[in-house]
Amino acid sequence: MGQGHGWEGAVLKLLRAKDFTFTVTDAEDVTPHYRRVHLTDGGMLAATGVHPTMWVRLWFDDAGRPHQRAYTLVDPDPAAGTFGLEFALHDGVASDWARAAKPGDTVEATVHGTGFERPAPGPSHLFAIADPASLPALNSLLDALDPVPATIWFEGDGDDLPFRTDPTRHDTRHVLRLDSGAHLVSRIRADLPGLLTATPDPYLWIACDTTTTRTLSSYVRRELGVPKQRVHALGYWRAG
């Protein structure tokens, strides 16, 4: 399959990435701008195993050119060979595919680079910074670290989205996306320092747009002194 994925696919092949074909079994609109697609895994889960926040690269056709985007698995079931994917819909090839997805449709995928290391010692408190693009990964993380308490800053419109938060343990703080993420950075600078000092073994998980993620990762490590092994930061999309 990698031969049809351009130079990116060729590089992934050299890195021993694994290719699979997924088949759509169902699709549903969670909100007008958020769609969940259910798929069979083409043997992937049996071959790769499953870990929290696991993601795959999907390949789409963009006017004859390969186009890839990464998505987090939702409720993977290795025994059944099934999982879901959730799409925050906007303009673009991947969103167009998700809008039109129907049972029997197929999509090629590559697995490479995904991983999860459970923090040790286990977190006494999780601090998570997310947005609609990383919500599936956030939900997976909350499931994996249950019953650890969490403070969550969620940037953007969260109305009716499928959060797996428990108000008895999770403090979710909704933050408007303003000034290309600068408003979120200001909010974190105001909120986080005092919260960090109140827990012995914090763990920070940062997953928003690439620029904001880098800014926040640098801030918590250089200015707040959080050790790198207690911070996971991954940009989930690039602002245009």
Which residues lie across from 150 on neighbouring strands?
A: 126, 170
Cα–Cα nearest to 234, from 213, 215, 220: 213
Distance, in Å, from the CA atom of 172 to the CA atom of 106, rounded to the nearest integer, reads 36
Domain regions of the chain by residue span: 2-111, 125-233
Residue labelled with tokens 């108000």: 167
Share of the chain above pLDDT 90, in %: 86
| Class of domain 125-233 as given by CATH | alpha beta
Q: Which CATH number fits domain 2-111: 1.10.760.10, 3.20.20.70, 2.30.42.10, 2.40.30.10?
A: 2.40.30.10
| 111 has pLDDT over 60 | yes
Answer for the pair 130, 207: CB distance below 8 angstroms, yes or no. Answer: yes
Q: Which pLDDT tens digit goes with each residue over 33-68?
A: 999 999 999 999 999 999 999 999 999 999 999 999
